[in-house]
Amino acid sequence: MTSSTFATDAKTTEKTPVYTSDRTSGSNGPHVSYHYNPQVAQYHYGPHHPMKPFRLMLTDHLVISYKLYEKMDLFTPRRATKDELLEFHSEDYIDFLQTITPELTSKLAEKKLAQFNIGDDCPVFDGMYDYSAMYAGASLDASRKLINGMSDIAINWSGGLHHAKKFEPSGFCYVNDIVLSILNLLRVHPRVMYIDIDLHHGDGVQEAFYTTDRVMTVSFHKYNGEFFPGTGSLDETGIGRGKNYAINIPLKDGIDDDSYIKLFKSIMEPLITKFQPTCIVQQCGADSLGYDRLGCFNLNIRAHGECVKFIKSFGIQMLVLGGGGYTPRNVSRLWCYETSVLNDVTLDHKIPNYLPTYDWFGPDYSLHPQLEGRFDNKNSKKYLESVKQEVMEQLRYLNYAPSVAMKEIPPDLTGLTEEEDQILQELNMESEEGRSIEKIKDEAREGEMEE
Ligand SMILES: [Zn+2]
């Protein structure tokens, strides 16, 4: 008979990884955890929608076939509770998400749907609330493992949905798992840095922390004033106490590996040195790769990964998240590669042929297909240098790394002055004029696999 004394209770089960890494005790590399609920890959936004959650299954298959699970602690996280989602989102909106179904949608007035920004980009689909609670739950789980010291680096490729707003979904994102996990990290971390290398501006995260100096948001993205979400110009720098703590790096079409890496490093190094974050959240949106279905950059997988490697080299706790990415075979290659980078492992170019989804990776079956050259690089050296100079100028106004009396949540997140509220609303208006994340037309779309 087994003694109940040693039975594991629910709490222990939750904190026990389903698989513990085999790292020897002598190893002094970072402790990496991987947070993934396979169910999250089973949802569908709709047959023609570019966001395909099954890219997460492809990613997981690659991670498994390369045996990266041997290096990490694996967790199957629980869903975020409603209360957890309400830490950032409004009750109205979460109630709506929880109750709306595709059947009900047809019966609802257009006005109601418009109020919650339901449309082509953010459709109502079966299980939408569960899907959202699942990817948010994984980011929160990852943040908890960082907070309690179980992990140095925590990965959730199903997260990184940076466009979601307090009151509504935006750009394929329903709840903002990034904001939720940063709020959680702020309970113990004086300063959190958010770095976004998705093709699109990280507007939802920037907006949430626009008035605080405890979170520095840094976003590299395509910007021309039109491109979704329409925000992210150099002069969006934060307001009030948050002045100069929002950094934007607007880029043009076709940026290549060398210029991206050079710019990224030359900006991030001084920012990290000056701000001295105690934790870094990196959003690794894969739509900044070349040949992305919605993309317009020329980056190869190795260059994107170099930006993750560089941040890791500072030895600061990291929460690593996914994000955009609309050519599933390349999204999964990228995130598997970045998982290896975070674990200090070198992977064979050749994708293991026992992978159940091996066919997806033909005809080259390589982890590193050539992805550059589809667009001309419109970013001149002079342009990139001027962007960098402007950011350095902004940095001059940051004289110190703010140290705070620790409170449960940053006091300046909730109470905005009227003027601040006005500025935020104007920023939102600018980005709302009928823009759609899907609007770019490109030739890759025709040939891209639908499912
Ligand atoms: Zn994106």
pLDDT tens track for 77-117? 999 999 999 999 999 999 999 999 999 998 888 888 888 99
- Mean pLDDT across the stretch 421-436? 65
pLDDT tens track for 173-183? 999 999 999 99
Neighbours of ion ligand 1 (CB under 5 A): 198-200, 285, 287, 324
CB 177 within 8 A of CB 135: yes
Ligand 1: centre distance to CA 418 (Å): 31
Structure tokens at 34: 């991987």
Ligand 1: centre distance to CA 197 (Å): 9
Q: Cα separation of 451 and 436, whole Å?
A: 22
Q: Cα separation of 124 and 100, whole Å?
A: 7
* pLDDT bucket at 422, cuts 50 / 70 / 90: confident
DSSP string, 36-77: --GGGGG--S-TT-S--TTHHHHHHHHHHHTTGGGTSEEE-P
- Mean pLDDT across the stretch 199-211? 98
Task: Tell me the three state secondary structure of residue 349.
Answer: coil
**Which residue out of 35, 163, 189, 221 is catalytically annotated?**
163
- Mean pLDDT across the stretch 68-77? 97
For the ranges 114-118, 222-226, 436-440, the lowest mean pLDDT is seen at 436-440
For the ranges 114-118, 190-194, 440-444, the lowest mean pLDDT is seen at 440-444
Question: Mind spelling out the 3-state secondary structure of 156-209?
Answer: ECCCCCCCCCCCCCECCECCCHHHHHHHHHCCCCCCEEEEECCCCCCHHHHHHC
pLDDT tens track for 300-341? 999 999 999 999 999 999 999 999 999 999 999 999 999 999
**How far does CA 265 lie from the centroid of its chain?**
19
163 is known as an active-site residue: yes
- Model pLDDT, residue 449: 38
- Model pLDDT, residue 108: 86
Asked if pLDDT for residue 50 goes beyond 80, the answer is yes
- Model pLDDT, residue 28: 72
For the ranges 143-147, 355-359, 408-412, 420-424, the lowest mean pLDDT is seen at 408-412
Please give the C-alpha separations between residue 376 and each of 180, 356, 447, in angstroms, as whole numbers: 38, 36, 21
Task: Tell me the three state secondary structure of residue 33.
Answer: strand
Asked if pLDDT for residue 407 goes beyond 60, the answer is no
Whole-model pTM: value is: 0.89
- What's the alpha-carbon Rg for the chain, to the nearest Å? 21
- Model pLDDT, residue 246: 98
- Binding-site residues for a divalent metal cation sit at 198, 200, 287
Burial bucket for residue 107 (CB in 10 Å: 0-12, 13-18, 19+):
exposed
Domains and CATH numbers, the chain: 29-447 (3.40.800.20)
The secondary structure of residue 117, as a DSSP letter, is: T
Ligand 1: centre distance to CA 287 (Å): 5
Asked if pLDDT for residue 3 goes beyond 50, the answer is no
- Mean pLDDT across the stretch 295-299? 98
- Binding-site residues sit at 121, 171, 198, 200, 287, 326
Asked if pLDDT for residue 201 goes beyond 70, the answer is yes
- Mean pLDDT across the stretch 126-154? 98
Residue partners of 332: CB distance under 8 A and separation at least 6? 55, 56, 58, 59, 61, 62, 360
Ligand 1: centre distance to CA 441 (Å): 15
| Residues facing residue 289 across a β-bridge | 299
The secondary structure of residue 223, as a DSSP letter, is: -
- Mean pLDDT across the stretch 30-48? 97
- Mean pLDDT across the stretch 384-400? 92
CB 72 within 8 A of CB 29: no
- Model pLDDT, residue 82: 98
Ligand 1: centre distance to CA 148 (Å): 31
Element at 75 (helix H, strand E): strand 73-75
- DSSP helix, strand, coil percent of the chain (3-state; round to 5): 40, 10, 50
The rounded mean pLDDT for the chain is: 89
